[in-house]
């Protein structure tokens, strides 16, 4: 019987935010990563970027004070901090492709043990391809982190030896933040950063099905 508890989405967002260094320029991808904006430590200056042309985003607006003319790439209403600005979509992608972002935090369908990323399509028939700026971010940011649940809804591990879904980028992911653990991807495989309390190393390796170095 397991004696550990998964991180909630809020706890996972706070765990990612904890590792973002002061002065970083960071893109938060669509989905779970947008929650990170609400958990950046007080007093730490982090400049948030959105690929639709915003720099200097703040936390989510208070309910009832949303401005739907101010949204992120996922069409969610956001706030703008003092000094924030808007610019052309092409300039935003130039920032992404030009190596001007320190970190991007993306969701994923699969990540390989060596950091290959699959996050834009499961290849299902009839699915709408929606890669957006993920390919540009994955290879353009100085460090690419993934934030996701470790397991699918049907219990398969999303961290795999080799991705079976269409790839977004090769060997681009440096860290994987999940509801059960934090892992580092290296050319030699996975390295453990931390786990939730009560989850043993042996049990985590059983869940993932791959060796994880301490």
Catalytically annotated residues = 51
Q: Which structure tokens are listed for 188?
A: 């030699």
CB-based contact 97:91 (threshold 8 Å):
no
Q: Would strands 143-148 and 173-178 be described as parallel, antiparallel, or unpaired? A: parallel
Q: What is the distance between the alpha carbons of residues 82 and 55, in angstroms, rounded to a whole number?
A: 11
- Alpha helices by DSSP H, listed for 19-105, are 89-97
For the chain, the 3-state helix, strand and coil shares in percent, each to the nearest 5, are 20, 30, 50
CB-based contact 59:34 (threshold 8 Å):
no
Q: Which structure tokens are listed for 105?
A: 């935090």
Q: What is the distance between the alpha carbons of residues 107 and 148, in angstroms, rounded to a whole number?
A: 6
């Amino acid at each position: 019987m397991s004696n550990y508890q998964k991180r909630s989405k809020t706890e996972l967002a706070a765990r990612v935010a904890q590792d973002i260094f002061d002065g970083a320029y960071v893109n938060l991808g669509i989905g779970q990563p947008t929650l990170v904006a609400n958990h950046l430590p007080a007093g730490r200056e982090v400049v948030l970027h959105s690929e639709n042309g915003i720099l200097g985003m703040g936390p989510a607006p208070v309910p009832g004070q949303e401005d739907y003319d101010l949204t992120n790439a996922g069409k969610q209403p956001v706030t703008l901090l003092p000094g924030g600005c808007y610019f052309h979509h092409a300039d935003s992608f130039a920032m992404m492709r030009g190596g001007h972002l320190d970190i991007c935090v993306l969701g994923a369908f699969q990540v390989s043990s060596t950091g290959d990323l699959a996050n834009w399509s499961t290849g299902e028939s009839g699915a709408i391809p929606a890669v957006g700026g993920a390919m540009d971010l994955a290879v353009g940011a100085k460090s690419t982190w993934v934030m996701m649940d470790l397991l699918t809804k049907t219990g398969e591990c999303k961290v795999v030896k080799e991705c079976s879904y269409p790839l977004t980028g090769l060997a681009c992911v440096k860290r994987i933040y999940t509801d059960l653990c934090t892992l580092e991807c290296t050319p030699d495989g996975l390295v453990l950063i931390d786990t939730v309390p009560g989850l043993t190393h042996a049990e985590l390796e059983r869940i993932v099905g791959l060796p994880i170095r301490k």
